[in-house]
Amino acid sequence: MKKLTSIGRMSYLDRRLLAYCHDIFMAGLSFVLSLYLRVGEDFMAYLPSFWPGLFIFSATAAISYRVFGMNSGVWRYASLRDLLAVMRAVTATILVFLLCMFMITRLELLPRSMPIINWFVLVVMLGGPRLIYRLLKDRRIASILETNARDRIPVLLVGAADEAELFIRAMQNDREAAYRVVGILDDKGGRVGREIHGVKILGQCSDLADVVSELAAGGDRPRRLILTRPRHKLDGATLGELVERCEALNLMLARLPDLTEFKDAVADGGVTVRPIVIEDLLGRPQVALDKGAIGGLVSGKVVLVTGAGGTIGAELTRQIAGLSPKSMILVDNGEFNLYSIDLELRESFPDVAFRAVLADVRDRARMLQIFREEQPELVFHAAALKHVPMVELNPIEGVMTNVLGTRNVADAATASGCLAMVLISTDKAISPTNVMGATKRAAECYCQALDLLHTGGQRQRTRFLTVRFGNVLGSTGSVVPLFSRQLRAGGPLTVTHPDVCRYFMTVREAVELVLQATAYGMRGSTAHADEQRGRIFVLDMGQPVKIVDLARQMIRLAGLRPDKDIRIVFTGLRPGEKLFEEMFDAAEPPERTEAEGVLVASPRAVDFAILRRAIDELEAAAQTADHARVLGLLAHIVPDYSRQDGQGIVAAGGAMGGKAPLPH
């Protein structure tokens, strides 16, 4: 890293003392020049009163400078406001000097016009060096006219690309800008020492601590570190390290909006940096979406979404509505959530026809009626009970919604001749240890069996696609809203176990990949159809994240210190929870697809007739509230389901009395 000059390495107090001495010296010098300008060759005649006057004037100026805070500004950012401070201090100096001289000499020993001359001379001698120094640094006159340079927040940028150039230019051109850029960090070492609009590239990201120390020594300590790279280029691991370094240096971490949004902001006359959020720390690379295939999947079609008011369902409706469907049917059993998403969509997409239907997927007759009336071509089934502990406490409700509700929607899709139904599934369906995961796996089995079903020697028209992924940040029941609420309450943050890990992605990315997987699956239905049927599409979730690490990062992003300002408490695994989630079963060897970000699992074949009879039995047991039989039948349908009783894992298959499991 290029070192600053010897003056730059001075401490801030040394710089202020040097400036203070300079200004006192200028006061004395201005007194001499003013007297000479007034009397010329008769200067020597005034020597008896000159020395007392010089001493009184210099002492008065020294006091005035302190009283009016004239040296609190940084010369590097001298502006009109600093010039006004100079004028106030000089005026006070002249007035107090006149009062002192009147009391001592009745103003008889010095020319009475001299103070007026002295006022102008001292203003020039104090303001001139400041403005010249600013001009030499900025190389532009406009910066002198800034009135709020001292109030601007000093910031350090990371990245020396187009975004940094736009931001610096916007800050320099906006007189009311909130920030002033004091330096840049860039990982391309060859750029260190170069400048962008007069702002120097001081080092690489690894030099952060040294750069902050150097800037602080020069009186320009940054208060924020702003990332200029686009969000999709932020590496999660690197970003996590920066969060920790900023915590140690007491820096706030923020980022610029993406380049297209930033250009719009500049054009509109305002730029707002954004805080780093937990989604940024995932650091997932941006997936190249096949927008042509996704658009062709939806455009001009009637689309029905169940669970349209939930986190995934609502995002599905937003993205689908932007792809020009013929119409959309929004199905949800929650009145307020349905009202909210319907209102939002009608305002955002006035050209799309929407119908909000208040209905429960558990009502078979209602589902058949809706499908018969609306004749949807594509169905996205997102309605489900997803909260593991809650479903564990209410297993019959989980079965009614997740298994029987899925069956009702799938049968209605078949009866109305839909092109495809897409089931939104979860990683908890793999080797489930809880009712929620087991019910979702049973729903997967039913849709897989339907997709593989032959009717009259031919495949049925409707395709049944299953898309499986892990946790979605910010969704209902997610740990992130819980941590946010606990942070607002002052902590502690509760984590079940130090080693518990989960897969995470953002809701936007999850839905994009659901659409990508659906488009790929439907394209595969025309070529090698038999090979594609019954497969489960699994979104590439990247690497699992430790929940305790997520908690620590959220604390740091809130500007607090883990285990000091906010405690983390381990509460123990809840019923049905596992330390680690899986995306594939051992019997489902994963394969990559042509669709980026989408993997495919080989089907585990289930006989449809046997499965349908088992689900009919499950429905009868659920309607009679036979808790034990419901769990036993669920274990019969999902043989690898094993439940936890708080003391460990208990095999659930024994509840069937030795009855053989379904073939897989």
Per residue in 591-648, pLDDT (tens digit) is 777 777 777 777 666 788 899 999 999 999 999 999 999 999 999 999 888 765 544 4
What confidence tier does 7 reach under pLDDT thresholds 50, 70, 90?
very low
Task: Give residue 653's pLDDT.
Answer: 45
CATH 3.40.50.720 applies to domain 152-276: yes
- % of the chain residues with pLDDT over 90: 25
Per the CB < 8 A criterion, the answer to whether 181 and 157 are in contact is yes
In which band, very low, low, confident or very high, does the pLDDT at 283 lie, cut at 50, 70 and 90? low
Question: What 3-state class would DSSP assign to 635?
Answer: helix
Whether 347 shows a pLDDT value over 60: the answer reads yes
φ/ψ (deg, to 5) at 169: -65, -40
385 confidence band (pLDDT: 50, 70, 90)? very high
The tokens describing 526, both together, are 């025309």
pLDDT at residue 465 is higher than 80: yes
Nearest in space to 433 (alpha carbons), one of 576, 583, 574, 633: 576
Query: What H or E segment, with its residue span, contains residue 121?
Result: helix 114-138
pLDDT at 430: 84
Q: Contact 97/30 with Cβ under 8 angstroms?
A: no
Residue 651 has pLDDT above 50, yes or no: no
Q: What pLDDT, in 10s, does the model give residues 299-333?
A: 999 999 999 999 899 999 999 999 999 999 999 99
Distance CA(512)–CA(219), nearest Å, equals 47
CATH architecture for the domain at 291-656:
3-Layer(aba) Sandwich (3.40)
Q: Answer whether residue 659 shows pLDDT above 70.
A: no
Q: Is the peptide bond before 492 cis (omega within 30 degrees of 0)?
A: yes
Q: What is the mean pLDDT of residues 147-151?
A: 52
Q: Which residue has the higher pLDDT, 461 or 327?
A: 327
Can you give the pLDDT at residue 209? 86
70-86 per-position pLDDT tens digit: 665 556 556 666 777 78
Q: Where in the chain is the domain with CATH 3.40.50.720?
A: 152-276, 291-656
Mean pLDDT across 554-559: 73
**Lowest mean pLDDT, pick from 10-14, 412-416, 572-576, 614-618:** 10-14
Asked whether the predicted pLDDT for residue 378 surpasses 90, the reply is yes
pLDDT at 140: 53
Is the pLDDT assigned to residue 362 strictly greater than 90? yes
Q: What is the mean pLDDT of the chain?
A: 78
pLDDT at 13 exceeding the cut of 60: no
Segments in 375-488 forming alpha helices (H): 388-393, 395-398, 405-415, 435-452, 479-488
Q: Which residues of 611-640 are buried (b: 16+ CB within 10 A; e: fewer)?
A: beebbebbbebbeeeeeebbbbbbbbbbbb
Residue 639 vs residue 190, higher pLDDT: 639
Categorize the per-residue pLDDT at 10 as very low, low, confident or very high, splitting at 50, 70 and 90. Answer: very low
